[in-house]
Structure 1
Amino acid sequence: MITPDPTTPEGEAIIKLHEQMAELRERTDEWPGADTVDILDKWLALFDFTSPVKRTRLVAGSVWVLRREDRHEDDVTIWSDEDSALAALAEHVRSSWDNVQGNDGIPDLPPLEDRLAVDLYYGPRSERSDEDYWLYGTDVGRCVRTAPASHDFRFPDEKVSAQINSAALFHAPAGPDGEGLPCIEIAGVLVFAYLDAGMQAVRVSVHLDTADELVIQPGQTVPLHVQVEDSTVFSAGAVLTRPTGGGRRQWLRGLSHRMPWRRGD
């Protein structure tokens, strides 16, 4: 059985149709043809069956693609970073070193350095025949709606958003021995950013339990869009109402360049 999602325009429309038909049945003890046709006619007019939903492609991350080809296989693998992909390729090279051992300029044992081992094994690209490889980085795409959903929820406009942004609070921990973590609070949303020694990483944690009703959609969800540099790493409920300019990114980059100087480094 399908349960309509009230947080989507489609689901909301289906629920409203159900309510209208239920009200008609309760009022007339049947579904009169003329009334039913009138309800369905207005309901179908809400939909556009002629054009696709407009979407914008965002970068949701990046990966490294390793393709390795020989006479026996054509293998493609995905890696989170170049070093990992190169290490995997070097592992294959070392396990197949007998294929090149004894050739001019090839040592008896493969080098410990991954790049050197790969370069010696495959040689110049113009001289490769039976074996070859390709290693390159590429973006992971994500398509999002470019028009706001047609339900009652309306995200704060630019003026209201600017007012809320200017009222953001920073909660600092009470010294290195105190409890708590550095946190930014905006519209009731808590964003913790801190160094996690246990995870050996800069950790960012978003908590939505105390979010202001201004940013809560029907269904008790908060539209959230998270970026690291220029890559979107998470997006749920966000819709693009207009192209995002590069001015804010330039400002952030400029701020990052000024920060060491401002800290006195």
Structure 2
Amino acid sequence: MITPDPATPEGAAVIDLHDKMQGLEDLTGEWPGADTVDIIGRWFEGFDFTRPPAPACWVTGSAWVLRCQDRHEDTVTLWADEATALASLARDVRSNWDNVSDADGIPDFPPADDRTAVDLYYGPRDSREEEDYWLYAQDITTLAPPAPHAYRFPAAEVCAWINSAARFHPASCPDSASLPCIEVGGVLVFAYLDPDAKAVQISVDLDTTAGQLRRSDATVPLLIQIGNSTVFSAPAGPVPASTQPRRLRRWLRHIPWMRW
């Protein structure tokens, strides 16, 4: 059974046609031929069959775009995060501080704080005439590969049931090599402090993913977000055993509930 998605133009059009035909049946008790042809004819006029459908895209991550403009040039650079982009802009600002140091309210030397230095150098946006900058996040997209035939992600009620059955597996004890993990639909998501990397590490293991979440080619659709930013979105598959980090697989073997 296919459920039209009202959030898409195609789904909204199908729902609109259903409502019109239902209204006709409620009025006449049937679908009179002439009226049906008129309704469907007008419905088809809302479609454009002269152009190929736009290819589907999926988000693979995001980048911070820094655009700087002055009288001589207009440059655009990409950065992994906002802080790094702002630090780069602040370095340029400090190297050109003589351009603004004699203005009212501007100190002789640039502030140590990057944001403060940039704001003082450029001033209010509505008063920027010769120099300006824009810094914003932008999704990185690529064409999506065709979905394997006949695959459908579980319906909302099935997802709710799977989510309600999620389990948390804490590390067994501080002296153990096990790791804290949440298990949802057979997907294992490890979140832990890695003393070697000196970072909070997030690891996803798909080896035990439930069958209804796998496509016919054994791939699993994934969407990973940090805060409000999508850092990965793709029909990704399980990592082959030969390429998994040895340390991660060694830790997995120490988890008592895992079966190998």
TM-score, length-normalised on structure 2?
A: 0.56
Distance 1:150 1:58, change over 3 A: closer
User: Secondary structure in 2 aligned to 1:204?
Assistant: strand
Q: How big is the alpha-carbon RMSD for the aligned residues of Structure 1 and Structure 2?
A: 3.6
Q: Output the amino acid matched with 1:214.
A: Q
User: Percent identity among equivalent residues?
Assistant: 53
Q: Output the amino acid matched with 1:175.
A: C
Answer yes or no: is the 8 Å Cα contact 1:64–1:135 preserved in 2: no
- 1:6-21 matched pairs, under 5 angstroms: none
Q: Structure 1, residues 212-232: CA drift from partner, whole Å, max 9, x if none? A: 333222222122222334443
Residue in 2 aligned with 1:78? 78
Residue in 2 aligned with 1:236? 234
Residue in 2 aligned with 1:151? 149
1:67 aligned onto 2:61: no
Distance 1:133 1:199, change over 3 A: farther
Answer yes or no: is the 8 Å Cα contact 2:59–2:233 preserved in 1: no
Residue in 1 aligned with 2:117? 117
Residue in 1 aligned with 2:255? none
Q: Whole-Å Cα distance in 2 between the matches of residues 103 and 118 of structure 1?
A: 15
Residue in 1 aligned with 2:200? 202
Structure 1 unaligned runs (5+)? Answer: 1-47, 239-265
- 1:99-248 matched pairs, under 5 angstroms: 99-103=99-103, 106-125=106-125, 127-130=127-130, 132-140=131-139, 142=141, 149=147, 151-237=149-235
Q: Structure 1, residues 17-62: CA drift from partner, whole Å, max 9, x if none? A: xxxxxxxxxxxxxxxxxxxxxxxxxxxxxxx98651585x887765
Distance 1:69 1:171, change over 3 A: same
User: Secondary structure in 2 aligned to 1:164?
Assistant: helix
User: Secondary structure in 2 aligned to 1:233?
Assistant: strand
Answer yes or no: is the 8 Å Cα contact 2:61–2:233 preserved in 1: no
Q: How many residues align?
A: 187
Q: Whole-Å Cα distance in 1 between the matches of residues 106 and 162 of structure 2?
A: 65
Shift of 1:91: 0.8
1:91 aligned onto 2:112: no
Shift of 1:207: 0.6
Q: Whole-Å Cα distance in 1 between the matches of residues 225 and 163 of structure 2?
A: 17
Q: Output the amino acid matched with 1:117.
A: A
Shift of 1:206: 0.7
Distance 1:179 1:231, change over 3 A: same
Q: Whole-Å Cα distance in 2 between the matches of residues 144 and 163 of structure 1?
A: 32
User: Secondary structure in 1 aligned to 2:220?
Assistant: coil
Distance 1:99 1:213, change over 3 A: same
Answer yes or no: is the 8 Å Cα contact 2:148–2:217 preserved in 1: no
User: Secondary structure in 2 aligned to 1:179?
Assistant: coil
Q: Structure 1, residues 146-189: CA drift from partner, whole Å, max 9, x if none? A: xx947133433344444433433322211111121111223322
Q: Output the amino acid matched with 2:139.
A: V
1:52 aligned onto 2:50: no
User: Secondary structure in 2 aligned to 1:223?
Assistant: strand
Distance 1:180 1:93, change over 3 A: same
Q: Whole-Å Cα distance in 1 between the matches of residues 223 and 143 of structure 2?
A: 11
Distance 1:121 1:212, change over 3 A: closer
Q: Whole-Å Cα distance in 2 between the matches of residues 201 and 189 of structure 1?
A: 22
Query: Which moved further from structure 2: 183-192 or 106-115?
Result: 106-115
Q: Whole-Å Cα distance in 2 between the matches of residues 49 and 187 of structure 1?
A: 43
Q: Whole-Å Cα distance in 1 between the matches of residues 123 and 153 of structure 2?
A: 57
TM-score, length-normalised on structure 1?
A: 0.55
Q: Whole-Å Cα distance in 1 between the matches of residues 228 and 86 of structure 2?
A: 25
Q: Whole-Å Cα distance in 2 between the matches of residues 225 and 84 of structure 1?
A: 25
